[in-house]
A = this chain, B = another copy of it.
Amino acid sequence: MEGYTARLVVGLVSAAVTSAAHGQAPAAAPETPGSVLAAAPAGDWTPLAPDDLLVVELGGGARVVVALADGFAPVHAANIRRLAHDHWYDGLAVERVQDDYVAQWGDPDGRKPADAAVVAKPPAEYDRPAAGLPIRWLPDRDAYAARTGVAGVFPVAVGEDGRAWLTHCYGAVGVGRDLNPDTGTGAELYAVIGQPARALDRNIAVVGRVVSGIEALSSLPRGTADLGFYSDPSQRLPITRVRLASDLAPDERPRLEALRPESASYTRWLRVKANRQDSFFVRAAGAVDLCNALPPVRARRP
């Protein structure tokens, strides 16, 4: 593991500071994915619009921020916006945490009535035409799809049939549904907290990606009932408030920005990830798989 001990990492930083303090130029260090991001000009980053961010606040104060992907599942996304706007999620709970799979939250008993504006039987928005999507293609192979790429902050796969879909990478957010495809109003949402669950791709509406705070879900105790549901309702973690960021007061909104996939910095970041030359590495991977190519998101710089 790089960073074998905390001690070592501190030691390396000190050495660089010391040589700078003595007026010596430090030896040019090979680029790392982190150094590429640190050096990326402001114009290579784009703010995430408050109207596209769902802010999920959990008991204990943690915040999970989901970037919504309206272009892939518009009816589902509209439902979620409606439910958030109505404060419908407030007081519900995280009810299921299945290791290496998903954390799921919503209305465990499926009984809370929703606004009539919520579409009760949304269409099966599980893929869409690839045409018209601003896809930044990725060069490496994928086990499941003919081609892959990213669009905005989202991972996209495209099949031989010209259809495109959002993939179940770590942090992907989808809409839980019943066995019938025309179920799943947005009342139950889940986030992937393990290896990519690509067998779910094109079988369920993926509506976004957690861009901040996933650790508040991934570090929860695993449920011990079937499928990782909590066997005792007292184990559920309350959801205190869910809002679109645009419905929050300006000083409460998350301020995030994403690396633009069309930027030179994204291209450089990908290339450095595939070809690590910094001292820990003895052999570069030569590739970056789709789920490791998600455009980085960070707190906005002032």
A residues with a Cβ closer than 8 A to B are 1-9, 95-97, 99-100, 102, 104, 108-110, 124, 126, 140-144, 169-171, 174, 176-179, 181, 183-184, 188, 190, 194-196, 198-204, 214-215, 218-222, 225-227, 229, 273, 276, 279-283, 285-292
Contacts and interface: CB of A to CB of B under 8 A. Distances in A.
Copies in the complex: 2
Contacts of A201: 285
| Most chain B beta-carbon neighbours within 10 Å: one of A5, A226, A283 | A5
Given A108-B6, A282-B181, A1 B188 contact: yes
A214 B143 contact: no
A174 B100 contact: no
A46 to B, nearest CB: 23
Given A7-B110, A110-B5, A203-B281, A222 B229 contact: no
A232 B46 CA distance: 35
A27 to B, nearest CB: 14
A1 B292 contact: no
Task: Tell me if A's interface is mostly helix, strand, loop or mixed.
Answer: loop
A240 B88 CA distance: 45
Contacts of A183: 4
A220 to B, nearest CB: 6
Given A1-B102, A99-B215, A100-B214, A126 B283 contact: yes
Given A1-B188, A4-B188, A219-B221, A289 B100 contact: no
Contacts of A174: 1
25 contacts: A1-B176, A1-B188, A1-B204, A3-B229, A4-B176, A4-B177, A5-B109, A6-B225, A6-B226, A6-B227, A8-B179, A97-B219, A99-B214, A100-B170, A140-B144, A141-B142, A141-B143, A143-B288, A144-B285, A169-B195, A198-B292, A201-B285, A203-B283, A219-B219, A219-B222
Contacts of A2: 179, 227
A222 B62 CA distance: 13
A202 B280 CA distance: 12
Given A142-B143, A215-B99, A289-B144, A282 B222 contact: no
A278 to B, nearest CB: 9
Contact of A4 (B126, B184, B285): B184
Nearest to A9: B226
A9 B177 CA distance: 12
Contacts of A177: 1, 4
